[in-house]
């Protein structure tokens, strides 16, 4: 098969003040026509820098290609002028970027952004470009392309924006498509649709693809060959089948071991800790082996102090219960820690339209339990978490914590309740104040609740919390931008723990993190839960990881819970068609399984009720297994 691209001894460095960092170190690989090559590795491994070096999109002021050749159809791209590269980019080589919202022009309509490429490179007239752009939108699976042509990026969902990016990248029928993390942070069903679109386009146009990702499940289903990168170097290369069946390098093995699989039973937390290979807290060290043991010892030591404080918090709750309802109400074995009854959360969209984001749901969480909540974007799961904590005021229904109606507390009482109930947010960078040092970000919550008597005690407690989540106490004097994504998420966890809560809503805490970093965060959350007696509502769209951390799982669709069961039971015996669709869309890190898999792809807008759920209720089809049954469809339980 003819070679399309050949990269030889590529070295790329970045200059910062008086230092120079080599991000890509002697990378060599080739890509044949019609082939899909996967480049995998964790954040910082150099895979995206390699892709941008091929496209000549690295910042000229701070980066330098020190050596190497990038031969594309016999032309050395490393020696091309800027004007010559402008003729190659888009026409000969297309690129799909990781975050379409920041890559698309917010001031231009989607159709115009596609047409712009067509007019520049294919010399089409305005009318011809519009017709072709509409056809491209249709080709990538966007419904009603004529209408969508005139809409702006903010009017598209995440999955639709990524489809639009694919349409722009492939509009000129390029020979090479570079897809840089094209499905990161997307729901599993949307991910399956995007990958399906890429496969179909490859078959129709004969395009070669370089797929850059940290998701080995995606690689198993998409790629012919795989290159594994670590610290700017290629550590292993081979066919997909060979690499998955017989990995040779320890780093490749650890990447594979860190990935949770639906077709495997739950891994013990120690197995996940040992599989962790990414950065954690120290100067480049990972939370694996000895580091994980050290973190567990710190948690065990510090939990004694937290336990004493938690006992005091329990007494605060009991006193508030006495004031609210007369007499203390202890948490008995048959009473859940948290109970949600007929919760509804509606939003007024204007012009008489109402979005029922959460539509009459009920569930409970036992003390010390982890309830996983899964569903696509727009299904209502994050809104449920926010409504429980009254970050949104519920439209109706009750949220009971230890029998007390949280949604009926006064502002003063709710401030006290915040000590009991905390949240870990999806995007730690957006939720951490960039102007504050970590000392003040974590210490602020303690200040609000009067938990530190003086600055010395405050700093000591912040440093203890940083140790508890596996970070160096010296990090207290740094700012959020100085940390990696995984480290920032650990800071978010430390902030949530600062007031010694008993219940934590974890809202997509693993989104967009490398699989090994995900494994570390999950292990940390499990350690903290065991030592501090925490209870979690774990919201995510990654069903594989949810299976391994949750005791029970609730599946949400269109604002409703459509299925709820123990973790193993739900994955072994899904009943609702939506649950089956979610499970079928999850990529498995096994090329043989992926080749045989049939996926049931969902429509884009999950806020539409396609299952007749209005007026339905959960029916117990087997002990502890509940399924939403629309009127007249009780036979679903027997399917």
What is d(CA 491, CA 286) in angstroms, rounded to the nearest whole number?
A: 16
Contacts of 411 (CB under 8 A, 6+ apart): none
> Quick one: tokens of 511?
């989104």
Q: Give tens-digit pLDDT for 142-191.
A: 888 999 999 999 888 777 888 899 899 989 999 999 999 888 767 787 78
pLDDT range class, residue 305, cuts 50, 70, 90 = very low
Domain boundaries, the chain: 3-258, 290-318+336-437+480-573+609-638
Q: Is the dihedral of CA 257, 261, 264, 269 positive or negative?
A: positive
> Could you tell me which residues come within 8 angstroms of residue 276 by beta carbon, excluding any fewer than 6 positions away?
254, 258, 286, 287, 288, 292, 516, 517, 519, 520, 523
What is residue 607's predicted lDDT score, i.e. its pLDDT? 45
**What are the residues whose beta carbons fall under 8 Å from the beta carbon of 95, sequence distance 6 or more?**
51, 55, 57, 89, 169, 177, 178, 179, 180
Q: 3-state SS string over 549-599?
A: HCCEEEEEECCEEEEEEEHHHHHHCCCCHHHHHHHHHCCCCCHHHHHHCCC
Q: What is the pLDDT of residues 253-264, one digit of tens each?
A: 988 888 777 777
What is the bridge-based pairing of β-strands 396-401 and 338-350? antiparallel
**Are 540 and 589 in contact, with CB atoms under 8 Å apart?**
no
Q: Which residues contact 484 (CB under 8 A, 6 or more apart)?
A: 43, 44, 279
**Helix (H, G, I), strand (E, B), or coil: what is residue 42?**
coil
pLDDT band of 617, cuts 50, 70, 90: confident
Spatial CA neighbour of 387 closest among 366, 360, 348, 354: 360
- Beta pairing partners, 535: 503
- pLDDT bin (cut points 50, 70, 90) of residue 609 is low
Three-state helix/strand/coil letters over 371-421: EEEECCCCCCHHHHHHHHCCCCCCCEEEEEECCEEHHHCCHHHHHHHCCCE
Sign of CA dihedral 433, 436, 439, 444: negative
Architecture of domain 3-258: 3-Layer(aba) Sandwich (3.40)
The verdict on domain 290-318+336-437+480-573+609-638 having CATH code 3.40.50.300 is yes
- Torsional sign, CA 198, 203, 207, 212: positive
Kindly give, in sequence order, each residue whose CB lies less than 8 Å from that of residue 7, ignoring residues fewer than 6 positions away: 27, 28, 29, 30, 50, 54, 68, 69, 70, 71
Quick one: pLDDT at residue 326? 38
Q: DSSP 3-state assignment of 53?
A: helix
Other beta carbons within 10 angstroms of residue 64's beta carbon come to: 14
CB contact set of 303 (below 8 Å; sequence gap of 6+):
531, 532
pLDDT over 50 (residue 576): yes
Residue 124: how many other CB atoms lie within 10 Å = 18
Q: Do domains 3-258 and 290-318+336-437+480-573+609-638 have the same CATH topology?
A: yes
Tell me which of 568 and 313 has the higher pLDDT: 568
Whose tokens are 């042509």? That residue is: 149
What is the Cα–Cα distance from 477 to 331, expressed in whole angstroms?
40
pTM of the prediction?
Answer: 0.78
Q: Are 290 and 530 in contact (CB under 8 A)?
A: no
User: What pLDDT digit, counting tens, does each position of 382-407 carry?
Assistant: 999 999 999 999 999 999 999 999 99
Q: Which contacts qualify for 310-319: CB closer than 8 Å, 24 or more apart? A: 310/500, 310/502, 310/532, 310/533, 313/419, 313/420, 313/500, 313/501, 313/502, 314/502, 316/416, 316/419, 317/401, 317/402, 317/404, 317/420
3-state secondary structure 416-479: HHCCCEEEECCCHHHHCCCCCCHHHHHHHHHHHCCCCCCHHHHHHHHHHHHHHCCCCHHHHHCC
Angle at 538 (CA atoms; ends 534, 539), nearest 5 degrees = 155
Mean pLDDT of the chain: 84
Give percent of the chain with pLDDT exceeding 70: 85
Task: Evaluate if residue 315 carries a pLDDT over 60.
Answer: no
Q: Residue 200 has what pLDDT?
A: 85
- Residue 272 to residue 517: CA distance in whole angstroms: 10
Contact 555, 562 (CB under 8 A): yes
């Amino acid at each position: 098969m003819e070679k399309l691209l050949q990269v030889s001894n590529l070295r790329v460095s970045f200059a910062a003040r008086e230092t120079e960092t080599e991000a890509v170190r002697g990378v060599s690989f080739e890509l044949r026509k019609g082939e899909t090559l996967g480049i995998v590795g964790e954040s910082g491994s150099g895979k995206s820098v390699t892709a941008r070096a091929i496209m000549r999109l690295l910042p000229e002021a701070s980066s330098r290609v020190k050596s190497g050749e990038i031969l594309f159809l016999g032309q050395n791209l490393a020696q091309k002028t800027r004007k010559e590269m402008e003729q190659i980019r888009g026409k000969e080589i297309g690129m799909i970027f990781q975050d379409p919202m920041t890559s698309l022009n917010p001031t231009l309509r989607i159709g115009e952004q596609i047409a712009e490429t067509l007019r520049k490179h294919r010399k089409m007239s305005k009318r011809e470009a519009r017709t072709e752009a509409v056809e491209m939108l249709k080709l990538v699976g966007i419904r009603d392309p004529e209408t969508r042509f005139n809409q702006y990026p903010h009017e598209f969902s995440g999955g639709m924006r990524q489809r639009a990016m694919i349409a722009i990248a492939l509009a000129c029928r390029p020979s090479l498509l570079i897809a840089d993390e094209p499905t990161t942070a997307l729901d599993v069903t949307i991910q399956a649709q995007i990958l399906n679109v890429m496969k179909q386009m490859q078959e129709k146009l004969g395009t070669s693809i370089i797929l850059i990702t940290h998701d080995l499940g995606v690689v198993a289903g998409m790629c012919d060959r795989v290159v594994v990168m670590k610290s700017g170097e290629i550590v292993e290369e081979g066919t997909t089948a060979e690499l998955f069946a017989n990995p040779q390098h320890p780093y490749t093995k650890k990447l594979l071991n860190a990935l949770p699989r639906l077709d495997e039973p739950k891994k013990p937390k120690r197995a996940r800790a040992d599989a962790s290979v990414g950065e954690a807290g120290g100067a480049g060290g990972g939370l694996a082996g000895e580091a994980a043991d050290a973190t567990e010892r710190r948690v065990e030591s510090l939990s004694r102090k937290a336990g004493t404080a938690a006992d005091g918090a329990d007494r605060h709750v009991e006193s508030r219960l006495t004031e609210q309802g007369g007499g203390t109400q202890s948490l008995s074995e048959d009473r859940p820690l948290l109970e949600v009854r007929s919760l509804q959360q509606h939003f007024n969209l204007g012009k008489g339209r109402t979005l029922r984001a959460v539509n009459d749901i009920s569930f409970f969480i036992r003390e010390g339990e982890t309830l996983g909540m899964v569903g696509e974007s727009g299904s209502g799961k994050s809104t449920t978490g926010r409504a429980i904590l009254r970050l949104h005021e519920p439209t109706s229904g009750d949220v009971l914590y230890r029998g007390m109606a949280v949604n009926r507390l006064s502002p003063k009482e709710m401030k006290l309740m915040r000590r009991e109930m905390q949240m870990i947010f999806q995007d730690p960078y957006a939720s951490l104040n960039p102007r504050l040092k970590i000392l003040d970000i974590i210490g602020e919550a303690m200040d609000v609740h009067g938990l530190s008597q003086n600055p010395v005690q405050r700093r000591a407690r912040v440093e203890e919390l940083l140790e508890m989540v596996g970070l160096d106490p010296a990090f207290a004097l740094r700012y959020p931008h100085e940390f990696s994504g995984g480290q920032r998420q650990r800071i978010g966890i430390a902030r949530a723990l600062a007031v010694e809560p008993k219940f934590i809503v974890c809202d997509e805490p693993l989104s967009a993190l490398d699989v090994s970093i995900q494994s570390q965060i999950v292990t940390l959350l499990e350690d903290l839960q065991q030592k501090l007696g925490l209870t979690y509502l774990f919201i995510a769209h990654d069903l594989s990881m949810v299976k391994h951390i949750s005791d029970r799982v609730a599946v949400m669709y269109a604002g409703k819970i459509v299925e709820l069961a123990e973790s193993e039971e739900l994955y072994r015996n899904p009943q609702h068609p939506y649950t089956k669709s979610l499970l079928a869309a999850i990529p498995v890190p096994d090329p043989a399984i992926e080749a045989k898999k049939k996926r049931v792809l969902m429509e884009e807008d999950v806020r539409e009720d396609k299952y007749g759920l209005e007026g339905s209720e959960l029916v117990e089809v087997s002990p502890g297994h509940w399924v939403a049954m629309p009127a007249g469809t009780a036979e679903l339980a027997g399917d």
